[in-house]
Amino acid sequence: MLTLERPRAASTVEKFRSPKPPRTRLRRVLVGILVALVTLASALGVPALMGAFPSVYTPPLPDGAAFAVGGRVITTAEYDKRLKTIQALYGAQAPTDPAGADRFRRDAAKAMAVADVMENAEADRNIVIPDTKVRQQLTDMISAQYGPGPDGYQKFTAGLAQAGSSEPEVLDELRQQYASAELIKQVTDPVQVQDSELPAEFPKYAARLGSPEQRKLSNIVVPTQDQANDILNQVRGGAPFADLARSQSLDGATKAAGGDLGDPITADKLQTSYAQAAFAAPKGQPFGPVQTSQGWNVGLVTDVIPGKPADFAQSQLQLKQAVLNDRKIAAWSSWLQSTLRSAGIRYADPYRPADPDGAPAGLGGTPGQ
């Protein structure tokens, strides 16, 4: 499944039925679909969807096989073809280093296998997506990425040809996305939350429903720790932070503003080490040096906006939705775990994931992520 990455901000911010023809799909967006379905927009991950399954004897795969789901064998040639569609549609590219490329190949095989298991379940439930809906989605995607009309369509088809994929394969991938969303909906629709359950659930969700503390920060980025220590000593000695930022910071996006990072920010939007320092310092005090991917940072807390705890009476609607979301995720996890356990997924050695029973990995400034 996918794990989500926080967006990059200003320059200091670091930011997936047997006898039918094979389909090209990698349900790389399974968790994305699930999150959209249950409107859990703030989720940064989901529980593992596969548990530790008991070891059983399985027959060896034939030569030329990448993996198998039940009695259906996916050859390495089919794997490669499906991967080209994934890369064309999602921009998923294998890393260039050998270790990264190996991990990518194994993760892609796992996600394809889970996608096949889900497609079998969709067929069992007679889930059919109208061609008109799929075609409209593709048209919208082409317009957004390449521009509307014939020119955009020509750019799209040219890009597919270059990637070694085709329009029918992309349409099939989109159809499978819709089918996955409908499958998840069918599995999780029976989940309910009664109002009488909310008081007991509130303590578990109070922190999530409240408003976290925010801080307004200024920052100076320099290449070395020694320079950062020198700046910190100057600030502690009374030198104006803004003047030092304008003269010494490497951050072109903020130095003209005296290092001001802009709107108040919460700790979860910052790199852990930077957040720990920034949210421990008192208002008006500098902190650091802290090393991030941009360099060595010296920060200044210019304002503190205290967090507000959640109030049960005022947050019952949000509480009910949060509990419902989590229960839907748990219901889906349980269903998928049981389904995968009986699916008979087998991998050839070069395609076997490091954690075959775990969830598929994603194929994919503020001093922050």
Q: What pLDDT does 21 receive?
A: 33
pLDDT over 80 (residue 360) = no
| 324: Cβ contacts below 8 Å, ≥ 6 apart | 38, 191, 192, 193
Q: What is the residue type of 137?
A: Q
pLDDT over 80 (residue 137) = yes
pLDDT over 50 (residue 161) = yes
Mean pLDDT of 250-278: 92
User: Coil, strand, or helix at residue 74?
Assistant: strand
- State in Å, rounded, how far the first CA of the chain is from the last one: 19
pLDDT over 50 (residue 366) = no
Q: How would you classify residue 313: left for phi > 0, otherwise alpha for psi between -120 and 50, otherwise beta? A: alpha
Separation of CA 21 from chain center: 31
For residues 206 and 234, give the distance between their C-alpha atoms in angstroms, rounded to a whole number: 42
Mean pLDDT of 103-116: 91
For residues 225 and 288, give the distance between their C-alpha atoms in angstroms, rounded to a whole number: 10
pTM of the predicted structure, to 2 decimals: 0.60
The three-point CA angle 259-284-235 to 5° equals 60
pLDDT tens digit sequence for 237-261: 999 999 999 999 999 889 999 999 9
| 266: Cβ contacts below 8 Å, ≥ 6 apart | 212, 213, 214
Mean pLDDT of 59-82: 92
For residues 359 and 340, give the distance between their C-alpha atoms in angstroms, rounded to a whole number: 11
pLDDT over 70 (residue 39) = no
What Å distances lie between residue 316 and 194, 196, 309, 310, 328, CA to CA?
Answer: 11, 11, 14, 10, 18
Better pLDDT: 168 or 19: 168
Mean pLDDT of 151-178: 88
What Å distances lie between residue 47 and 63, 110, 187, 203, 332, CA to CA?
Answer: 35, 17, 17, 21, 10
Beta strands in the chain (DSSP E): 65-69, 72-75, 214-222, 265-266, 286-292, 295-305, 345-347
Rg (CA), the chain: 25
192: tokens are: 């309910």
- Least confident window among 48-57, 140-149, 355-364: 48-57
**Is there a contact between 225 and 291 (Cβ–Cβ < 8 Å)?**
yes
pLDDT over 50 (residue 308) = yes
Q: What pLDDT does 362 receive?
A: 47
Mean pLDDT of 184-201: 96
Per the prediction, the chain carries an average pLDDT of 81
Indicate the CATH number of 211-305 among 3.10.50.40, 3.40.50.2000, 3.30.56.10, 3.90.1150.10.
3.10.50.40
- Least confident window among 51-55, 160-164, 218-222, 361-365: 51-55
pLDDT over 50 (residue 109) = yes
For residues 5 and 15, give the distance between their C-alpha atoms in angstroms, rounded to a whole number: 7
Local confidence band at 16 (pLDDT 50, 70, 90 cut-offs) = very low
Local confidence band at 9 (pLDDT 50, 70, 90 cut-offs) = very low
- Least confident window among 50-59, 85-94, 294-303: 50-59
pLDDT over 90 (residue 342) = no
Domain ranges of the chain: 30-194+318-351, 211-305
CATH fourth-level superfamily of 30-194+318-351: Porin chaperone SurA, peptide-binding domain (1.10.4030.10)
For residues 237 and 25, give the distance between their C-alpha atoms in angstroms, rounded to a whole number: 61
Q: For 288, how many CA atoms within 13 A lie in the half-sphere containing its CB?
A: 33
**Is there a contact between 83 and 91 (Cβ–Cβ < 8 Å)?**
no
Local confidence band at 1 (pLDDT 50, 70, 90 cut-offs) = very low
